[in-house]
Amino acid sequence: MRAPRMVAVLAILALLAAACGGGGNDQSGAASSAITIAIGAEPTTLDPQVRDDGNERAVNDNIYETLMARDAAGELQPGLATAAPTRKGEETWEFKLRPDIKFSNGEPFNADAVVASVTRVIDPKFNSEQASFFSTITGATKVDDLTVNIETKGPDPLLPSRMYWMKMVPAQYSSDAAFADKPAGTGPYQLKEWGRGNQIVLEANPNYWGAKPQITQVTYKFVPEGGARMSGLLAGEYDLITNLLPEDVERAPKSAHLQGLEHPMIILNARGSITQDERVRQALNYAVDKQALASQLFGGLAKVDTCQILSPQMFGYNPDLQPYAYDPAKAKSLLQEAGAVGKQIELVGETGRWLKDAETIQAVAGFWQDAGLKVKVSNYDFDTYLKHLFQQPNRPDAIFVSSSNELLDADRQYSNYYAEGGSGTSNSDPELKRLVTEARTNIDEGSRLQQYQQAGKLACDKAYFTFLLNIEDIYGMSERLTWQPRVDAKLIVSGMSTAQS
Amino acid sequence: MGRFVVRRIAQGLLVVVGVTIMVFIFTRMVGDPAKTMLPLSASPEERAAFRHELGLDRPITEQFGDYIGDLASGDFGTSVWQRRPAIDAVLDALPNTFQLVLLAIAIAVVLGVPLGVLAALRPGGALDRTAVVLSLAGLSIPQFWLGLLLIIAFSVTLNMLPTAGMGTPAHLVLPTLTLAFPALGRIAMIVRSSMIDELNQQYVKTAKAKGMPRARVVGFHALRNASIPALTLTGWELIRALAGYSVVVETVFAWPGIGFLADQALNNQDLILLQAIVFVVAVMVVVINVVIDVLYRAVDPRIKLV
């Protein structure tokens, strides 16, 4: 087609588009305090106790509240409770509740609501995907209208953190069939409209007990494809998108990033094969240039892990640990000493589940190869990959995993990956197991912290993992939006504001 | 004709049964939702309970028996991911796909047929060459890429159309064009070549010799015969768009139809929902095929119906 014709065709298309009403930019006027957020998929329910996925959370975190909350830096604070809970005996925590709070359907928030919320979410018949967060809780009892006891199986130091994850639902209405579509919470926002397949709109809750948010309306659009989210941001349709790719940071109108909770790492098998030798495991750590991974794969938006899979904001983080330096010569000599040079190591991975997973696995394999090993990378689909991850006897030599921790407490990761018996654990270290198991039920915060820090040091010294990176959460934002991302990656709209003209 | 229709429907039902069995087998091979749907930290007991809940711990023959029994009574099972009857999720998404696909195919036919006819009238002319290029482009440009190009041009650069989602007529424009483009090219090409054939037939020459106006010869006699292959192709384009291309286009534009739903069901390892989607799509494909066969006969009674 000759150029003038092409122009004509484009012009016709443009006219057709204009005739259809424009539509791209419906947020005109800087004074408007309505924003649009693009999330990965439409929530399948707005019942806050059923699912455990980011899309449901993105919306419900603004409608519902919890007894304990966290500030943007991750500090645990009272939410719907007036203060941190007090212990009443080995297995009971007592919460005092804020008075005069109502759910948006008019039901009071009181001890009955807390008992109903706890009983509902732990009921096996309810089959909540969040159950693993609350597995230690056995029940709740009303003491008076504003006092509730929560009971656990044995001492549970994590209970306050668990209650940061458990959303409070109204006692009566939560058993109504309409609840999943028409939510009623105590939070700063309430549902205005759910156009299935199209959008969810929240508006400010006029009766909210706390400070009034500046944003009066928020619209959620559902866009799974990263490129499409970025296009929408560039076209001015969205004010906030999540999971911006590091390479798109420059192109986005504005971006924000923050050291997040995600830790890609490699579990080394300390129970068999060549990785049984501590020197080999250490060599695998010295061999990898983690700084290069951070700067080249993640555009600098990742930090080298400090020899532990915890972020600094998490309880149990050990500030004294240092990463294994990049020292290829040392790696080679350690491998030589262990007689492992030229031997084969299998690195099991998957593709597409986590940001830059395949690239990270390839890069690590390259570094290991350079150190003198034969590396066989086995990239599986996620299901087959999980079979390898969860397989207890005959675990793979090395398996890539990315670990996150929404409770911000070492227990969740250490019991899974550090202590023998955990679904991702590849060591049989009795001392490590003792520390993690004892910390699990240790109510004394000081000694519990020490136990986790010791566990962290032990796992680092013994190199049970090839520690890699702590990835930052990256968000794309419109020019007019002001927001500081949160450590827990929650999209709390009451913490956002728009520029006013 | 009546016998023919009954026979076609019976054959269609057989196809649906075959597809149903295959879908059951394939979805069981996809993987274990108890692993992928629960968090990495879920305990083996939680996983076992989840499998039990879904009935995945029972012998495969038993699962199959129940599956067929439930299907026969119209029960497609409960979607694990959406936690509601799978068929409800499919029926919610279906109108959105129809809206997109029917509009796209209509555009392809309305623009493709005249383009093919005009191209055939002067083979080798400018219009003919344009049609050939368009059709080649339609065949060779991957749809996701075309979709992204349109987004960059009309949404990001010109800021005229929304990039994703549905709601206003403007939301329809880009996904419809993306879906219509390859079909338009193919329809134009088939109309062009069958038109060229028809125009060389003796009856056309006779009609012209008798002094029948050219427009009538081309538009009525020749086009009627040339439209038979185009009709089949249109049916195929419908099937292609419904059963395949909609997945790509709906994903690029976050258009909440069945293609988008299938993509998400797969990501969430929701076997029950996938089964329902494939079943419904299979039924649609069969129905479209039967309708096309019947239309075929209506357009050209010479066609033997077996």
- Distance in angstroms (rounded) separating the CA atoms of residues A69 and A84: 10
Whether A20 and B162 lie within 8 Å, measured CB to CB? no
Spatial distance between the Cα atoms of B150 and B178, rounded to a whole number of angstroms: 8
Residues in CB range of B183: below 8 A, 6 or more apart: B104, B105, B108, B112, B138, B237, B240, B241
Q: Do B151 and A228 touch (CB under 8 A)?
A: yes
Instruction: Tell me the pLDDT tens digit for each residue of B126-160.
Output: 889 988 898 888 888 888 899 989 999 999 999 89
pLDDT-derived band of residue A21, with 50, 70 and 90 as boundaries?
Answer: very low
What does the DSSP assignment read for A372-385? T-EEEEEEE-HHHH
Helix extents (H) in A20-133: 54-63, 111-122
Report whether pLDDT(A26) > 80: no
C-alpha–C-alpha distance, residues B45 and B192, integer Å: 64
Write down the pLDDT at residue B30. Answer: 66
Do B165 and A222 make contact, defined as CB atoms within 8 angstroms?
yes
Instruction: List b or e across A73-92, with b for residues whose CB sees 16 or more CB atoms inside 10 angstroms.
Output: ebebebbbbeeebeeeeebb
pLDDT band of B306, cuts 50, 70, 90: very low
Closest residue to B159, CB basis, from A135, A196, A235 = A235
Nearest 5°: CA angle at A335, between A329 and A338?
Answer: 140
Task: Report chain B's C-alpha Rg in angstroms.
Answer: 24
Residue A209 reports pLDDT greater than 80: yes
Q: Rounded to an integer, what distance in angstroms lies between the CA atom of residue B212 and that of residue A315?
A: 90
Lowest mean pLDDT among A183-197, B81-95, B208-222, B257-271: B208-222
What length is written for chain A?
501
More reliable by pLDDT, A190 or B252: A190
Among A1, A2, A20, pick the best mutation site for testing chain B contact (most B Cβ within 10 A).
Answer: A20
Tell me which residues of chain A, numbers 232 to 251, contact chain B at a CB-CB cutoff of 8 Å.
232, 234-237
Q: Which of B41, B81, B84, B261 to mutate to test the interface with A (most CBs of A within 10 A)?
A: B41
Interface test with A, best of B52, B115, B143, B160 (most A CBs within 10 A): B160
CB contact under 8 A, B163 and A235: yes
Per-residue pLDDT tens over the stretch B91-116 = 999 999 999 999 999 999 999 988 99
pTM score of the predicted model: 0.84
Query: Tell me, what's the pLDDT at A14?
Result: 46
Give residue B268's Cα distance to chain centre.
23
Does position A459 have pLDDT exceeding 50, yes or no? yes
- Of all residues in chain A, the one with the smallest CA distance to B41 is A416
Contact: A24, B38; criterion CB under 8 Å: no
Q: How far apart are CA A388 and CA A244, in angstroms?
A: 30
Q: What is the pLDDT of residue A337?
A: 96
- Angle formed by the axes of helices B2-30 and B271-299, nearest 10°: 160
Look-up of token digits 């991975």:
A349
Q: Where are the alpha helices (DSSP H) in B122-222?
A: 126-140, 143-150, 169-199, 202-209, 214-216
A11 has a pLDDT exceeding 60: no
The burial class, CB within 10 Å (0-12 / 13-18 / 19+), for B209 is exposed
Q: Is the pLDDT of residue A72 over 60?
A: yes
pLDDT band at B78 (very low <50, low <70, confident <90, very high): confident
Instruction: Give the closest of B43, B159, B166 to A132, CB-based.
Output: B43
Sign (positive/negative) of CA torsion A128, A265, A290, A451? Answer: positive
What is the tens place of the pLDDT at every residue in A124-156?
888 888 888 898 999 999 999 999 999 999 999
ipTM above 0.90, yes or no: no
Chain A residues closer than 8 Å to B82 by CB: 44-45
How many angstroms separate the CA atoms of A232 and A52, rounded?
26
End-to-end CA distance of chain B: 10
Q: Which of A353, A433, A367 is nearest to A400 (CA)?
A: A353
> Residue B75: is its pLDDT beyond 70?
yes
Q: How far is CA A407 from CA A48, A441, B143, in A?
A: 17, 16, 42
Is the pLDDT reported for residue A181 higher than 80? Answer: yes
Rounded CA-CA distance A203/A209 in Å is 15
Q: What residues of chain B lie within 8 A of the CB of A124, using their CB?
A: 49
In this structure, what DSSP letter does residue A188 have?
A: S
Distance CA A23, CA A198 (A): 14
Quickly state the pLDDT bin for A324 (edges 50, 70, 90): very high
Q: Quick count: other Cβ atoms within 10 Å of Cβ A330? A: 17
- The CB density around residue A29, as the number of other CB atoms within 10 Å, is 7
Nearest to A432 by CA among A449, A410, A447, A415: A415
Query: Token pair of A488, please?
Result: 């827990």
Distance from CA of B159 to the nearest CA of A (A): 6
Question: Residue B122 and residue B265: Cα distance in Å, rounded?
Answer: 49
What is the distance in angstroms between the Cα of B30 and the nearest Cα belonging to chain A? Answer: 8
Reference A407, options A280, A261, A273, A295; nearest CA is A261
Substitution target in B36, B46, B151, B155 with the highest count of A β-carbons within 10 Å is B155
| Per-residue model confidence (pLDDT) at position A16 | 47
- Largest interatomic CA distance in chain A: 84
Q: How many CB pairs under 8 A join A and B?
A: 158
Q: Which amino acid is at B84?
A: R
For residue A258, the cross-strand partners are A473
The answer to whether the Cα torsion of B198, B200, B206, B209 is positive or negative is: positive
Residues B81, B88: Cα–Cα separation, whole Å: 13
- A197: chain B residues, CB-CB within 8 Å: 92-93, 96, 166, 256
Are A183 and A201 in contact by the 8 Å Cβ rule? The answer is: no
Whole-number pLDDT of residue A32: 53
